[in-house]
Amino acid sequence: MFTGIITDVGRVLQLKQAGDLRARIATGYDIAGIDIGASIACDGVCLTVVALGREPQDWFEVEISAETVSKTNIGQNGWAVGKRLNLERALRVGDELGGHIVSGHVDGVAEVLSLAPEGDSTRVMLRAPADLARFIAPKGSVALNGTSLTVNEVAGRDFGVNLIAHTKEVTTWGEVAAGDVVNLEIDTLARYVARLAEAGG
């Protein structure tokens, strides 16, 4: 489990395709505190650490299945060496829950339609896949590239969020442009509420 509060921005150092895709990611985390088998959300995708090292800087490696590649922006945007990634370590008992409960199981990708300044913030409009749009509601939560965000408005498949300046500074959101696709995880509670409504209808 994660919270959608980004705690590091990593960088892809190496990619190898050998069966599954294997990625080496530079991190500011102290790898002495990371175990093999630990879960780290990389742009919102929960991935398992399979190797650790310190040269030329601290890094961890993850293996990414073809299924994960096909369902996320790893396949659509294509991770490349040098790409920066939002990182979050798994939630521990006693940690502050500052965002919302995020599983790291990406449901699909949303297309960035536009970005526009709004005071000191940036309004981002996105388009969700048709099968996921019904789970997105005004004032509800979504995780986009691993970042917990509040939905401002919804119109069909389109929805908007606001990014404060701090979020853009400490995540990769300052680099996102119209036309990009971002990993979308809908709120687990919204999924269950929709299921209950269907069962009662």
Rounded to an integer, what distance in angstroms lies between the CA atom of residue 159 and that of residue 126?
A: 5
Q: Would the pLDDT of 94 be above 80? A: no
What is the CATH architecture assignment of 108-200? Beta Barrel (2.40)
Which of 15-19, 26-30, 107-111, 149-153 is the least confident region? 15-19
Rounded to an integer, what distance in angstroms lies between the CA atom of residue 166 and that of residue 117?
A: 14
Mean pLDDT of 149-156: 96
Cβ pair 67, 75 in contact under 8 A:
no
Rounded to an integer, what distance in angstroms lies between the CA atom of residue 47 and that of residue 32?
A: 18
Cβ pair 60, 34 in contact under 8 A:
yes
The pLDDT > 90 percentage for the chain reads 81
pLDDT in the model for residue 68? 95
Distinct helix (H) and strand (E) counts, the chain: 5, 12
pLDDT in the model for residue 154? 97
Q: Would the pLDDT of 121 be above 90? A: yes
Q: Would the pLDDT of 201 be above 60? A: no
pLDDT in the model for residue 183? 97
- Joined together, the tokens standing for residue 3 give 């919270």
Handedness of CA 172, 118, 128, 104 (dihedral sign): positive
Phi and psi based region of residue 94 (left: phi greater than 0; alpha: psi -120 to 50; beta: remaining): left
Per-residue pLDDT tens digits for 50-73: 999 998 899 999 999 999 999 999
Per-residue pLDDT tens digits for 170-193: 999 999 999 999 999 998 776 667
Q: Would the pLDDT of 169 be above 90? A: yes
pLDDT in the model for residue 93? 62
- In the chain, list all ranges with CATH 2.40.30.20: 8-89, 108-200
pLDDT in the model for residue 95? 64
Which of 22-36, 81-95, 124-138 is the least confident region? 81-95
Which of 8-12, 86-90, 93-97 is the least confident region? 93-97
Handedness of CA 115, 178, 125, 144 (dihedral sign): negative
Cβ pair 22, 16 in contact under 8 A:
yes
pLDDT in the model for residue 18? 83
8-89 is a CATH 2.40.30.20 domain: yes
